[in-house]
Copies of this chain bind each other. A is one copy, B any other.
């Protein structure tokens, strides 16, 4: 099952040096989750051959322009592309008002239904769940209400150990074993135990997204052990005071959070437009947390199971 992240935008407040506002696309199983949607996201989706028409869920962390100003244009383009499927939008209070006012003044009636889900900026909450995946929002410490998101695969089926399969292996046994349940054949009385006939389930992967936040150890429990953590690093380490004042983080701070949360990999981004070369960002992050990566537009990051 795919679990991979496409970077569509990695800069902070102003686009610069070919870097655009924040947007990411998580392809998890059958889902294409769009995470934040800065200005021009629709163009990046086309450029990187991402699947605009397969996006059914859009998660907007907060209402600073660099995280949502591409949404309205994307909604209109989805309409022009003859979308009919419901579109779920998860955002802070006010996003619905902003969108509905623009639909009203443009006298637009979309071909599809928008379903708004208001985020709770104060507590962790389950905001989406199906058979494969669970999405939680959790509070970040930013200048306005802001949420991070945790995308977690649910436990996967136990894998049948093919070496143990026989021609007369009962189908019902397979179904039960996959669910981690023992099976007893009524006719023969033979017992098929989970230990003997299965291999452990494939790993359930997780991706934690922390868009805009100052250094905040309180978010560690929400992202603990995530396989991949995106944590903003707007500034290099020497700008810690400025980062604090503007409710942003530095490279070292993002990496400290990654280390304390024991994540698999750290992905940093949301670079300030003051930096032309972002290589020092990853160099600095690695001083604290070796397994750090730079967000780069067009890049695909696979999370292995």
Q: Which residues of A contact B (CB under 8 A)?
A: 13-16, 20-21, 39-40, 42-43, 46, 63-66, 69-70, 72-73, 76-77, 80, 92-95, 97-98, 101-102, 104-107, 143-144
Contact = CB atoms under 8 A, between A and B. Distances in A.
15 contacts: A13-B76, A14-B77, A15-B43, A39-B42, A39-B70, A39-B73, A65-B73, A65-B76, A65-B102, A94-B105, A95-B105, A98-B101, A98-B105, A105-B144, A106-B144
What is the copy number of this chain in the assembly? 2
A98 B100 CA distance: 10
A69 B73 contact: yes
Contacts of A65: 72-73, 76, 102, 106
A148 to B, nearest CB: 18
Nearest to A97: B101
A93 B21 CA distance: 29
A21 B105 CA distance: 18
Highest count of chain B CB atoms <10 Å: which of A64, A101, A106: A106
Given A13-B76, A73-B69, A102-B98, A144 B40 contact: no
B64 A106 contact: yes
Given A64-B106, A65-B102, A98-B101, A15 B42 contact: yes
